[in-house]
Amino acid sequence: MTHKVLKVLGMSAAIATAFSALPAIAQSLTVASKLPGKVHLLPATLETTQWGWFDNAQAPVLTVDSGDTVVMETMMHAHNQIVPGKTIEELKKLRTDHPGRGPHTLTGPIFVNGAEPGDVLKITINRIVPRAYGTNFNIPGMFGQFPKEFQDGQVKYLYLDMERKIAEFLPGIEIPLRPFPGTIGVARAEPGRYSSVPPGEYAGNMDIRELTEGTTLFVPVLVKGGLLWSGDSHAAQGNGEVNLTAIETAYKELNVTLEVIKGTKLDMPRIETKTHWVTMGFDKDLNLAWEGAKAQTVKYLGEQRKLSADEAAKLMSKVSDCRVSQVVNIKKGIHCMNPKDLKAKGIPERPLAETKDYLVSVGNDADANKAMDNASMGMIDALQKSKGLSRLDAYALVSMAMDCRVGDMSGPQKSIHCLLPKSLWVTAKK
């Protein structure tokens, strides 16, 4: 046996011992031994998951040391009840019959020894392996960016071709797959049971699509042990997630290494990618989410480059690439990508009209919420007129693949630029 420690939850000691002797498990241990720290397996069962809530009094399902690696599974929404064959009427009933909770199935909580309030939990995403299928749906008249406008519902189930890293949405339309956990975070400081829907300083349902395999999330620890959950697993998502759903899936493997960082103060989560640090802000009002993201970005740039707040604010407009993460989780989100390279200049374009690579819609308004509404609906309308999509298919496609970029927010008119890659359209299979 390897020197690593493997913990299999949900089995008796005798069964676990017998199971660990099988060649397949020994082979997986050989692979797992290359991972940092002790390696723990955490399956998603009814005993190791919660449906739609966090509670800092919930007993941990796993306890690990700082530096250990957890290889966990996740479930589909509603304790695995949203699976191919379920109708949109059945999906709606799962929400109306269970008010006050989110749809997400969350694996955890995981208690990290040594994590105390005021510390930072570093969560490195080593590997993500989704199931073979995902889904996108619009619950009629209830959720999403436009519940009043979309009183009719629809659900689509999609095959996830991980070899090609695409999902075929419709014949001739393929969505690139970039799996990431829509929800991952620690317990709130406040006691009691809370819906899994709104994100916050505890991270949670951030829906930031940059949090992919190979990236790291830093989140402030608010209770002893941290208490880490993850669920709401995505195969792909558009910035905005406007109909409330991405390509929702479950993970056969979400492989993370957990480390406790002492002596570092953090009041909001941050994400590290190979090239950027990602800052973020959340609020029910998109204008205030922007102010939060701006404050966090100015703070980061000041730390990174030893600048005053005024100097960092001036630099932000030149180097920080800000996007609308989502507008459907009670608290809306904006995140900003800040380059590690101090010589990097310029951000991706904010086009005003269609380009050779993108369909484009722009929203302008004194209210950022309305600017986002106008830009999103503009793209939905354009897909119906120029691409012949139905209303519901257009709504679904932008939720899974649109990129909404924050434009000029300094003047009386706020601007949001939504882009959809033309590369989604491929030659239809015969």
Cα 148 to its chain centre, rounded Å, is 25
Closest CA to 232 of 120, 95, 333, 135: 135
Closest CA to 106 of 39, 41, 42, 183: 183
Tokens of 167: 């999902």
Per the CB < 8 A criterion, the answer to whether 405 and 416 are in contact is yes
**What pLDDT is recorded for position 32?**
57
The answer to whether domain 275-339 and domain 358-424 are alike in fold is: yes
CATH annotation of 358-424: 3.10.28.20
Q: Where are the domains of the chain?
A: 35-261, 275-339, 358-424
- Report whether CATH 2.60.120.580 matches the domain 35-261: yes
**What pLDDT is recorded for position 33?**
64
**What pLDDT is recorded for position 185?**
98
On average, the pLDDT of the chain sits at 92
**What pLDDT is recorded for position 345?**
82
**What pLDDT is recorded for position 17?**
35
Query: Bridge partners of 50?
Result: 106
**Structure-derived torsion over alpha carbons of residues 350, 354, 360, 365, reported in degrees to the nearest 10:** 70
- Report whether CATH 3.40.50.1260 matches the domain 275-339: no
Helix (H, G, I), strand (E, B) or coil at 264: coil
pLDDT tens, residue by residue, 109-162: 999 999 999 999 999 999 999 999 999 999 999 999 999 999 999 999 999 999
Q: Which residues of the chain have pLDDT under 50?
A: 1-31, 429-430
Tokens of 119: 């510390």
pLDDT tens, residue by residue, 171-186: 999 999 999 999 999 9
- 141 exposed, middle or buried (CB, 10 Å; 0-12, 13-18, 19+)? middle
- 308 exposed, middle or buried (CB, 10 Å; 0-12, 13-18, 19+)? exposed
Sign of the four-CA dihedral 337, 251, 50, 396: positive
**What pLDDT is recorded for position 256?**
98
Peptide bond into 109 cis (omega under 30): yes
Angle in degrees, 0-180, between the axes of helices 368-387 and 391-401, rounded to the nearest 10: 120
Q: Report the predicted TM-score, pTM, of the whole model to 2 decimal places.
A: 0.91
For residues 41 and 36, give the distance between their C-alpha atoms in angstroms, rounded to a whole number.
Answer: 14
Q: Residue 328: phi, psi to the nearest 5?
A: -130, 10
Strands (E) across 10-85 are located at 39-42, 49-51, 53-55, 62-64, 69-72
**What pLDDT is recorded for position 10?**
38
**What pLDDT is recorded for position 246?**
98
To the nearest whole percent, how much of the chain has pLDDT over 90? Answer: 89
